[in-house]
Amino acid sequence: MSGVLEILQPGIGTTVQDRGRAGHRHHGLPLSGWLDAPLAQAANALLGNALNAAVLEMRGVGTVLRVTRGPVRVVLAGRIGAQRVREDGTRTPLPAWQTATLHEGETLQPGSAESGCAYLAVAGGIDLPPAFGSRASYWRAGLSGVLGRAFQPGDTLPCGETGSGDAREWRCPSWEPEAGPVRVMPGPQDDHFTPASLASFFAQEWQATPAQDRMGMRLQGEALAHTRAAAADIVSDGVTPGVIQVPANGQPIVLLADGQTVGGYPKIATVITADLPRLAHLRPGTRVRFAPVNAEQARQALQDQHTRWQQWLAGREAFLPPGHIDEAALYGDNLISGMLATHPGEDNP
């Protein structure tokens, strides 16, 4: 049976996201998709979904949802929590990293995404119609995310078929990204910058500014100098999530999932795939450093991340929520034999 969620309060910065729409950049469509792939896929894994099922990405105050057709099993992933409100008004906390089954009439009230990005997944995935092979919201082109716009009260989100009556829920330790400098591959236009600027780019801490959205973010620090004034512009060429452009003012711009497909600023470096998820959590005022790596190190970092994620998934465990009886354990204890046991010397009935 499929469920339906109604949006009571849209929240801030909530969109529907999946792995994105690869293969359409020649049409001018960006990749889009989730900003933190391992985190979003962790949410899906806890529910037993396909890893690329569509989820809700929350970048600020969470979206308040009510189950209008259920049940609907949900899970939060990231530094976020929620309140579960039953029809009688009873409230219970719902922490991240454990699933819960909501019934018709119940409401879920998530808090804020403390690190700037968190995910809400539902069993079966968010089942909106795909566009160009993806359910990822991209409002600039009016794609998906409910009529290609921000959520409004009264919008509904259909959930995929769950097909499970299992009363067990699932939980796992939190998935945490790696620490340390964000790794980048220099270029492809690093020759447009003076040697001193290249050294400064890696030596200093950069501060994330409030000028950020899913398209990209502006960083602030000691300005980087181009080799000459004309070097601040290039003939527009292809760009991708993770490229770091530097316009004439010397302040870097990092492109994210909704970044455009071409750009005319020189690119001093490109964030490696393994570290792209960390950019989703650079809230305004946070600081970041960059470190150079080569292609082989970038490939190894991605493999190491995959291995670490699989090790995380191995910690997934089932549990029964309060109020449910573990019948398998009950029958396994063989209580009848215990009742028939007698003390030595007593007559057996």
pLDDT tens digit string along 246-267? 999 999 999 999 999 999 999 9
pLDDT digits (tens, 9 = 90+) for 154-177: 999 999 876 667 789 999 999 988
Residues pairing with 84 in the sheet = 92, 108
Q: How far apart are CA 37 and CA 274, in angstroms?
A: 10
Polymer length in residues for the chain: 349
Q: Is the pLDDT of residue 332 over 80?
A: no
pLDDT at position 195: 96
Q: In what order do the strands lie in the sheet with 55-58?
A: 15-17, 55-58, 118-122, 72-77, 100-102
Q: Which residue has the tokens 């919008």?
A: 155
Q: How confident is the model at residue 348 (pLDDT cuts 50, 70, 90)?
A: very low
| Structure-block tokens of residue 46 | 């806890």
Q: Which residue has the tokens 């995910």?
A: 119
Report the range out of 106-120, 137-151, 335-349 with the highest average pLDDT.
Answer: 106-120
Q: Do 27 and 76 meet the contact criterion of CB atoms below 8 Å apart?
A: no
pLDDT at position 146: 56
Crossing angle for the helix pair 37-47 and 295-313, nearest 10 degrees? Answer: 20
Q: How far apart are CA 53 and CA 228, in angstroms?
A: 47
Q: How far is CA 111 from CA 84, 107, 131, 168, 334, in A?
A: 11, 13, 30, 25, 45
pLDDT digits (tens, 9 = 90+) for 170-210: 999 999 888 999 999 999 999 999 999 999 999 999 999 99
| Higher pLDDT pick, 70 / 104 | 104
- The structure's pTM equals 0.90
* CB neighbour list of residue 180: distance below 8 Å, 6 or more residues apart: 291
DSSP 8-class letter at 124: T
Cα torsion 69, 74, 78, 82: sign? positive
Task: Enumerate the H helices of 13-123 as residue ranges.
Answer: 37-47
Q: How confident is the model at residue 325 (pLDDT cuts 50, 70, 90)?
A: low
Q: Is the pLDDT of residue 82 over 70?
A: yes
pLDDT at position 167: 85
The amino acid present at 76, given as its one-letter code, is L
| Higher pLDDT pick, 28 / 291 | 291
Residues 121-145, mean pLDDT to the nearest whole number? 86
Domains of the chain (ranges, CATH numbers):
4-163 (no CATH), 182-306 (2.40.100.10)
Q: How far apart are CA 179 and CA 189, in angstroms?
A: 27
Residues 105-116, mean pLDDT to the nearest whole number? 95
pLDDT digits (tens, 9 = 90+) for 16-68: 999 999 998 888 889 999 999 999 999 999 999 999 999 999 998 889 999 99
Q: Average pLDDT of the chain?
A: 90
* CB neighbour list of residue 137: distance below 8 Å, 6 or more residues apart: 15, 16, 17, 32, 143, 144, 145, 148
pLDDT at position 335: 47
| Structure-block tokens of residue 207 | 């501060």
Residue 348 backbone class (left: φ over 0; alpha: ψ -120 to 50; beta: rest): beta
pLDDT at position 268: 97
pLDDT at position 164: 63
Q: How far apart are CA 28 and CA 166, in angstroms?
A: 44
Q: Is the pLDDT of residue 337 over 50?
A: no
Q: How confident is the model at residue 305 (pLDDT cuts 50, 70, 90)?
A: very high
Q: How far apart are CA 24 and CA 144, in angstroms?
A: 15
Q: Is the pLDDT of residue 276 over 70?
A: yes
